[in-house]
Amino acid sequence: MRKIIGIILLIIIAWGIITSLQEMPFGTSRAKVADHYINKGREETGAANIVTSVVVGYRSLDTLGEVTVLFLAAIGLGAVLATIKRKEDRDTEKASLILSTGCRFLFPPILLFGAYIFIHGHLTPGGGFQGGAIIASAFVLMYLGCHEEKKINETGSIISESLGGLVFVVIGLIGLTIGTRYFLNNFLPKGEFNTLLSAGIIPIIYIAIGFKVGAELSKIIDLLMEES
């Protein structure tokens, strides 16, 4: 019964989509606003990666809201799981020496790779979100591989999370007070194009986002892992 109703619903939706896709050709045109971003983005923001200049340059207020949504989701997850009492441990097998040593050996290079991704966010593909996710996956590896040291440093995660958010907002407020007076104004010099020290505030904000996202995602994993 449920499946039949589902199939009927899907057929109706599919009919609507097929009739509307006739009007939407693949791979021919792009929007006007995209033309502006691509043609002027190099001079206006100084970032080589146009996606970065959209995310952190033109639409950075939206990114601030998005990071806030991430923070709220982490808080909600903690609040939902907070009332569950800790049960006795299941019979888990201890990790072998080779596994735990290999995890401990791989942990710093993965952190370094994540840091590389978000520091070079304005030059190469990648940025704060991807780098933060890679850092969180390093913590997942530690949780799965080494049983005995499966707590992340609580104060370290809180400090890096709130410092990231604070740097983002403070840089935005500084941009509000000097220059052309709008929030998250790019007040630093643009520098030479396509080098590491370019694009004004964009690398700083992306590094802050990287710390914040990495701390939040690894906190989500930690909260889910905590009581078994």
Q: Which of residues 15-74 bind other proteins (CB under 8 A)?
A: 17, 21, 24-31, 33-34, 37-39, 42, 48-52, 54-55, 59, 62-63, 66, 69-70, 73-74
Q: At what angle do helices 97-119 and 202-226 cross, to 10 degrees?
A: 150
Give CA angle at 226 (105, 70), nearest 5°. 90
Query: Cβ distance 49 to 123 under 8 Å?
Result: yes
Q: Which two tokens stand for residue 218?
A: 């690894």
Task: Return the number of the residue (109 or 179) whose C-beta is nearest other proteins.
Answer: 109
Task: Return the number of the residue (127 or 165) whose C-beta is nearest other proteins.
Answer: 127
| Binding to other proteins in span 196-215, by CB under 8 A | 213
| Binding to other proteins in span 95-114, by CB under 8 A | none
Query: Cβ distance 165 to 212 under 8 Å?
Result: yes
Q: Considering the complex, what minimum distance in angstroms separates the CB of residue 1 from other proteins? A: 5
Q: DSSP label at 55?
A: I
Q: How many residues does the chain have?
A: 228
Task: Return the number of the residue (81 or 166) whose C-beta is nearest other proteins.
Answer: 81
| Binding to other proteins in span 116-175, by CB under 8 A | 117, 123-127, 129-130, 133-134, 136-137, 140, 144
